[in-house]
Amino acid sequence: MELNIIRTGRAVLNVKDLDASREFYVNGLGFIETASDDKHLYLRGLEEHNHHSILLKKAEEPSVEVISYKVYSDSDLERLESLFSSKGYQTKWLEKGEQYAIGRTLRVQDISGLPVEFYAEMDGVERMLQRYDLYKGARVQRIDHFNCMVQDVEKAYDFYSKELGFACSEYTATEDDRIWAAWLHRKPSVHDVAFMNGKGPRLHHVGFWLSDQLSLIHACDVLASMGYAANIERGPGRHGLSNAFFLYLRDPDGHRIELYNGDYLTSDPDFKPIRWDINDPRRATFWGHEAPDSWFEEASVVQDLFADRTKEIAEPTLKQRKPTFVI
C-alpha cells in the first residue's frame, strides 16, 4: 500500500496566554499572524502559502494537542485509516468545517503514544516571501520538522519506515548498535521527524527553517533586546547530525522552538543513512560544546486524543543518559 505523506504540516500547541505568545512569536520571531480570536492564534512563515503551520490555542496548562503531516490527497487519508485500524489503533476523524481553515483530518495516537494528525487540504493565503517590508525578528520562512522524545526509538523507527514510508538520513547508535536516535524524512531534506531516546511520549521541539545563518544571530539580538535573553536555551551552533545551523528557544509556556538552517538534499534513492556513535561529541554540536541539562531532560507533554488528559510519560527502554563529551 503506497502512502503519499508529503511533509511536516503543522503543530497545535496549547498555551496559557495568547497575548504573551503573540509578542514572542510575531514580534520576536517574525511569524505572520494569519488569523486570531480570543482562543486561537494562527501563524505561518513568510514562505508558506498554506493558512498556518502553527496553531496556538488558549488553555489552562501548556501541552501539545497534535503534530501533523500533510498528505497528497484524501485517498491517502483513507489508506492511513485502513492501515492504523488493521493494526488495532483507534482513529478519529475531524470532518471539514470542524476545524478552521483545514480540511478533513485523521487523528491517531501513534506507536509511541504521540498525538498525530494527517490532512490533505488547508486554505491558501498570500505567500509573503518577497514582502521584505514585513520581515522582522528571525524572519521565519517555513515549518521544517518535529523532534519527539519516545520510550523506544527502534520501535518508532521501524513503524515509520516500514509502514509509513519514511526514510532515514542519519542515526545515533550505542556501543552495542542499538538505535538511540533517528532522523526520518518524507520531503528531500534531513528530516520531517526525529525520534530521540527519553521519557516519553513528549514533543521535544518544532523546527522552523530560516533562509540564512545571519537570521539566527539576528534573532538572538532581537530577543535579547525585547527581554527574552533567558528564553535562549542553546546555540547558535552547528549540529554534526544534519550539518544544520541551530538555535533553540523556549516560548513563554516552555515549548521548545528550533530555528534551523543549512541541512542537505536526501532525494537520491541510493542515499545511505549516516551513523553516529553516541559518544561522539560532534554529533550534537559539531564545534564540541555540550548542550544544557534542560535540553536532555525537558520537553512538552502531549494530549491523549481519546481522553481529556495528557499522556503519562514513562522511562525509556534504553537507559537514559547524556553522551560522554570529550572537549
**177's grid cell:** 548498535
Query: Does residue 37 sit in the same domain as residue 152?
Result: no
Residue 312 falls within a domain, yes or no?
no
Query: Does residue 54 sit in the same domain as residue 173?
Result: no
Residue 316 falls within a domain, yes or no?
no
Separation between Cα atoms, residue 30 and residue 46, nearest integer Å? 8
Nearest to 300 by CA among 245, 250, 238, 237: 250
For 53-88, write each residue's pLDDT tens digit.
Answer: 999 999 999 999 999 999 999 999 999 999 999 999
Query: Does residue 168 sit in the same domain as residue 290?
Result: yes
Query: Does residue 88 sit in the same domain as residue 115?
Result: yes
Total tally of structural domains belonging to the chain: 2
Query: Does residue 78 sit in the same domain as residue 147?
Result: no
Residue 309 falls within a domain, yes or no?
no
Query: Does residue 196 sit in the same domain as residue 293?
Result: yes
Residue 307 falls within a domain, yes or no?
no
Residue range 32-49: mean pLDDT, rounded: 98
Residue 68 falls within a domain, yes or no?
yes
pLDDT of residue 4: 95
Prior bond of 323 cis (ω within 30°): no
Binned at pLDDT 50, 70 and 90, residue 128 comes out as very high
Query: Does residue 161 sit in the same domain as residue 286?
Result: yes
Residue 279 falls within a domain, yes or no?
yes
Binned at pLDDT 50, 70 and 90, residue 322 comes out as low
Query: Does residue 143 sit in the same domain as residue 291?
Result: yes
Query: Does residue 150 sit in the same domain as residue 237?
Result: yes
Three-state secondary structure call for residue 88: coil
Separation between Cα atoms, residue 163 and residue 124, nearest integer Å? 30
Output the average pLDDT for the chain: 94
For 283-308, write each residue's pLDDT tens digit.
Answer: 778 887 888 999 999 999 999 999 99
Separation between Cα atoms, residue 10 and residue 4, nearest integer Å? 17
Residue 308 falls within a domain, yes or no?
no
Query: Does residue 73 sit in the same domain as residue 182?
Result: no
Separation between Cα atoms, residue 104 and residue 68, nearest integer Å? 12
Q: Which residue segment(s) compose the domain that 36 sits in?
A: 5-119
In the chain, how long is the greatest CA-to-CA distance? 54
> What CATH number is associated with residue 168?
3.10.180.10
Query: Does residue 11 sit in the same domain as residue 108?
Result: yes
Query: Does residue 103 sit in the same domain as residue 162?
Result: no
Q: 67 forms bridges with which residues in the sheet?
A: 11, 116
Residue range 135-159: mean pLDDT, rounded: 97
Residue 322 falls within a domain, yes or no?
no
Q: Which amino acid is at 185?
A: H
Q: Is the pLDDT of residue 142 over 90?
A: yes
Separation between Cα atoms, residue 56 and residue 21, nearest integer Å? 8
Nearest to 259 by CA among 3, 23, 85, 31: 31
